[in-house]
Amino acid sequence: MRLYICEKPSQARDIARVLQANRRGDGCLQGNAVTVTWCVGHLLETAAPETYGAQYKHWTLEDLPIIPSRWQVVAKPKVAAQLKVIEQLLRTCNEVVVATDADREGEMIAREILERCRYQGPVLRLWLSALDEASIRKALAALRPGEQTLSLYHCALARSRADWLVGINLSRLFTLLGRRAGFDGLLPVGRVQTPTLRLVVERDRVIASFVPRPFWTVDAQLQAEGMVFLARWQPPAGSCDDSGRCIDEAVGQRAARRLMQRAQARVSSVDVERVCEGPPLPFDLGTLQEICSAKLGLGAQDTLNTAQALYETHKATTYPRSDCGFLPESMLDEVPRVLHALTASAPSLGQWLKEVDPSRRSRAWNSSKITAHHGIIPTAVALDLDQLSERERAVYGLIRARYLAQFMPDHEYLKTLVLLQSDEDQLHARGKQIQVRGWKAVIDEADGSEPGEPSQRLPTLREGTSLPVLDAVVNAHRTQPPKAYTEGTLVKAMKTIANQVADPRLKQKLKDSIGIGTEATRAAIIQGLIDHGYLAKKKRSLAASAAAHTLIEAVPPEVADPVLTALWEQALDRIESGQLDVETFLAKQAAWLTQLVHSHASLTLRVPAAKGPACPVCRSAMRQRKGRTGTFWSCSRYPDCKGTKPVATSKRTSKPRSS
């Protein structure tokens, strides 16, 4: 009997339907010489510390670090019955097909059960990228040897055990040190969650300490061929900042008066460039989360849940937890079927489909760029869009648009830069004239992901031509702080952690890294920080709580360093590729933890009182201090932040004062 082990009941039903395994059994579906069973996510979990010794029930510094010499797993109580079903089926089968999700965690869900049950028989791998019937049949006809994906299990196992080591040991270490300093709360530390939290805390501090600075622009109205257009005055070097902005209002005002007095500007150069832009790649999960956050206001977990429903429930899109936007060239054969299904599902697409050329090959079609998964695209299932929720329709529309864009003409436009001179004053005018709208017709309307570009259309201008200046206006501006993170931009920051690094050698090393976390885990990490009160959502923006500031203030920089976590992710990639083994990786983590525990166990943390209010300036926790006029609340980050609050009116925000 061949046993298929799936990740979820819904997935098992889809595969069993194709295998004609329609007979219901205890926790399984059976057919002719095949049985399909399912897990409910992970049925096993790493044992708690007290499993390795009764003394670990109590938190003490003397017992740290806790490093198991032989790892143990236990059944999750709520799903123990289903685990027993699979154990019994493994005793009677003569072949196993791992049919869980095609990623690290999916591999681990099945393999940890096989290892626990000491299964020794042959193993095959069903690698699915979509759950429609055609895709399942195609994958069933191309089962892979189990050895090809075994390294995914090793990678997930290393990740799981490293997270356990860091979470158990460092959470206990810093919570105990916090208690010694008078902080009664829990200081939970995670290998990924703490560096992620640090990104938000540091962004909040930059915003809180930001001092806006004024600058001025001068915009002149000129006329040529009966068309009025704008040109911007260029300030001289002595009156502008490093970004070329005029920081002296009087200089700008004098320039505006000179331009109006002369009332003429001569064209000194005209540079016209024809630009052809190909379409953006189909979505990977991180990019989809970023766009859904910006366009639809969806959280990272909401986006993942919706994409998962489109994949599992509606069979409308391919596997969502992908870190790759490219598509294998072997899928070009399916293009006509997919386009036909899209047309059948939404006849209103006809206006766009007129420009679609199924034979067109964008840069997305590149098999050499494919990782474990390809970009998220529609399947050949003809949907009844009315059966989708409003959110599902919106997310499906984004995915569909990116796919259609691959078969539409390039977006072409003329980009013009005109330099003008009025005695000593220089101006420039930028223009854009669209020649071929191409794929922008579908992307602009569907996801709005492209940033706004100057749409000014310039008249035909020639060098040496003198033009009348109709007006010159001085505009006042103020520099703006960086924007607070949203869930989408935080996912992007987690992916592109190299952008946070100043060291050029380390930056280059991290360029190709997947960053902090994985496509499958980032949403859950952010949601966990929100659920535990470390991050708060204000409309679409994320803000760190006082507890979050307390935690980041308490732990040493290396624990919250996102670069260190990204390097760990690179090590996990090496395990996946077979260049590093699990034992070596975990030994390095254990050595690092041992050194960290020993070096910090005798330290006293600077941790503010748990019940202190949040600083009105930077949102960090506050501690009481005594001044000339009595006791007051002072920011725990003093002197970096000088925010204060009176003790008697601590619920009101007062103006920052010197502590």
Domain boundary (377, 405, 433) is at 405
- Is residue 93 a part of any domain in this protein? yes
- Is residue 150 a part of any domain in this protein? no
- Is residue 347 a part of any domain in this protein? yes
Task: Give the residue from 365, 389, 360, 390 showing the smallest Cα distance to 377.
Answer: 365
- Is residue 147 a part of any domain in this protein? no
Contacts of 393 (CB under 8 A, 6+ apart): 385
What pLDDT score was predicted for residue 629? 75
Domain boundary (443, 478, 513) is at 478
| Domain coverage including residue 233 | 214-278+411-478
The answer to whether residue 319 is catalytic is yes
> Which residue numbers in the chain have pLDDT < 70?
444-455, 508-514, 605-612, 618-621, 637, 640, 648-659
Contacts of 414 (CB under 8 A, 6+ apart): 272, 273, 274, 275, 431, 432, 433, 435
Residue keyed to tokens 């006029």: 629
Compute the CA torsion angle 298, 304, 308, 314 (nearest 10 deg). Answer: 20
Domain boundary (478, 493, 508) is at 478
Residues 125 and 234 in one domain: no
CATH number for the domain that contains residue 318: 1.10.290.10
SS (H, E, C) 35-51: EEEECCCCCEEECCHHH
Residues 503 and 421 in one domain: no
CATH number for the domain that contains residue 554: 1.10.460.10
What pLDDT score was predicted for residue 653? 39
- Is residue 152 a part of any domain in this protein? no
- Is residue 302 a part of any domain in this protein? yes
Bridge partners for 267 per DSSP: 420
Q: Alpha-carbon torsion 277, 281, 286, 291, what sign?
A: positive
Residues 516 and 398 in one domain: no
The catalytically annotated residue of 119, 319, 485, 534 is 319
Q: What is the pLDDT of residues 525-558, one digit of tens each?
A: 999 999 989 999 998 999 999 889 888 988 888 8
What pLDDT score was predicted for residue 630? 77
- Is residue 540 a part of any domain in this protein? yes
What pLDDT score was predicted for residue 523? 95
Would you say 411 and 422 are in contact if contact means Cβ atoms under 8 Å apart? Answer: no
3-state secondary structure of 504: helix
Residues 347 and 417 in one domain: no
Q: What are phi and psi of 416, to 5 degrees?
A: -120, 135
The whole-model pTM stands at: 0.85
What pLDDT score was predicted for residue 512? 63
Q: How many separate domains does the chain show?
A: 5
CA atoms within 13 A on the CB side of 237: 0
Bridge partners for 218 per DSSP: 474
Residues 438 and 469 in one domain: yes
Contacts of 478 (CB under 8 A, 6+ apart): 212, 213, 214, 215
- Is residue 154 a part of any domain in this protein? no
Q: What is the pLDDT of residues 615-654, one digit of tens each?
A: 777 666 677 777 777 788 887 767 767 788 887 644 433 3
Residues 555 and 618 in one domain: no
What pLDDT score was predicted for residue 644? 84
Task: Give the residue from 107, 181, 25 showing the smallest Cα distance to 555.
Answer: 181
Task: Give the residue from 158, 154, 156, 148 showing the smallest Cα distance to 127.
Answer: 148
Residues 389 and 419 in one domain: no
CATH number for the domain that contains residue 247: 2.70.20.10
Q: What is the distance between the alpha carbons of residues 286 and 284, in angstroms, rounded to a whole number?
A: 6
H helices within 93-132, ranges in order? 104-116
Sheet holding 622-627, edge to edge: 622-627, 630-635, 644-646
Contacts of 262 (CB under 8 A, 6+ apart): 422, 423, 469
Residues 440 and 540 in one domain: no
Q: What is the distance between the alpha carbons of residues 431 and 419, in angstroms, rounded to a whole number?
A: 12
Residues 8 and 122 in one domain: yes
DSSP summary character for residue 282: P
Residues 642 and 537 in one domain: no
Number of H helices, E strands in the chain: 19, 20
Residues 449 and 305 in one domain: no
Residues 112 and 13 in one domain: yes
